[in-house]
Amino acid sequence: MSWEALRGQVRRLEHEVEQSLTAYAKVSAALTGGASGLNAGPTETARWTRELEAAERLGGEIHTLLIRLEEADQALSAYAHGASSSPALLHTLQRHQEVLAEYRVEFRRLRVSVRQLREYAELLSGAEAAGAGVDRGADGFRRSGDLESGLSGGAPGGSSNTADPNLGREAAHVNGAHRSADTALGQGLALRDDLLRQRQVFASLVDRMGTAVTAMPSVGRLVSQIRRRKRRDVILVAVTTGVLSFLTLMWKLMP
């Protein structure tokens, strides 16, 4: 396959990945904004869950596209490093590899965000199920207390009436702690992705400088000549200064 055909395939895949990542980012932002309304009712929760499942399917499609783009970049690399290698081809290949690295970082960040939303939904549903079980247990305890008090002729105990609100507050505190931990973890992962992206940018700059020096040997020769001339000038100045200092000292010591 020719270079133009390979590059056309790579650019087409890059366009598809870019469009999919844009849609993925919009869905992730919408899910994050709608997560606060999960307790609004079963209809809202079901709609949010369907959108989350659609986002997860879109993430799988983007992962497949990234694999195809990586394979296309490998084919492009094999052609660029083949018999018809040239600095222009290597520069173009490097640019496509940088684009792939940027897509990977962005996809990893969005996938972590969607995964945190899934974990939050599962945690919330588990807390609701646990709360429902506690409510049933408390109702049963109150009924049994009422029955015993009725049989003994006494009044129902008041301690069971305060158990349910206390448990609800504890569950809310636990859920808040989990959400804070998820937020801190997401910020840490985003910071790590930014650092990785910066390292890739710096590495690409170093590679470009090396490629430029290799592509233009005259520049390298000019730099070497400048360094040799500078070294020679330093030696001449040092020798001249030493000779003049010696002559001046001898002149002063003469009677």
> What pLDDT digit, counting tens, does each position of 99-127 carry?
889 889 889 888 888 888 888 777 776 55
Please report where in the chains the tokens 């049963």 appear, as a residue: 140
Count CB neighbours of 106 within 10 A. 19
Count CB neighbours of 187 within 10 A. 10
Return the pLDDT at 155.
Answer: 44
Return the pLDDT at 17.
Answer: 92
- Structure confidence by residue, pLDDT tens digits, 30-43: 887 776 656 556 77
In sequence order, what are the residues at sequence separation of 6 or more whose Cβ sits closer than 8 angstroms to the Cβ of residue 96?
7, 10, 14, 73, 76
- Structure confidence by residue, pLDDT tens digits, 167-198: 666 666 676 666 666 667 666 766 776 677 77
Rounded average pLDDT over 150-162:
47
Rounded average pLDDT over 220-243:
84
pLDDT-derived band at 214 (thresholds 50, 70, 90) equals: low
| Token pair listed for 172 | 């809310």
Count CB neighbours of 143 within 10 A. 12
Count CB neighbours of 231 within 10 A. 10
Higher pLDDT, 166 or 87: 87
Return the pLDDT at 133.
Answer: 47
Return the pLDDT at 167.
Answer: 63
Domain ranges of the chain: 3-215, 218-255
CA–CA distance, 116 with 28 (Å, rounded to integer): 11
Rounded average pLDDT over 210-231:
73
Return the pLDDT at 160.
Answer: 45
Return the pLDDT at 141.
Answer: 44
Checking if the pLDDT of 240 tops 50, the result is: yes
Alpha-helical (H) ranges within the chain are: 3-34, 42-80, 87-152, 163-215, 217-253
| Token pair listed for 47 | 């709609």
Of the ranges 136-145, 160-169, 179-188, which one carries the lowest mean pLDDT score?
A: 136-145
pTM for this one? 0.51
Buried b (16+ CB within 10 A) or exposed e, 16-28: ebeebbeebeebb
Higher pLDDT, 238 or 199: 238
| Token pair listed for 57 | 């399917």
Residue range 3-215 forms a domain whose CATH class is mainly alpha
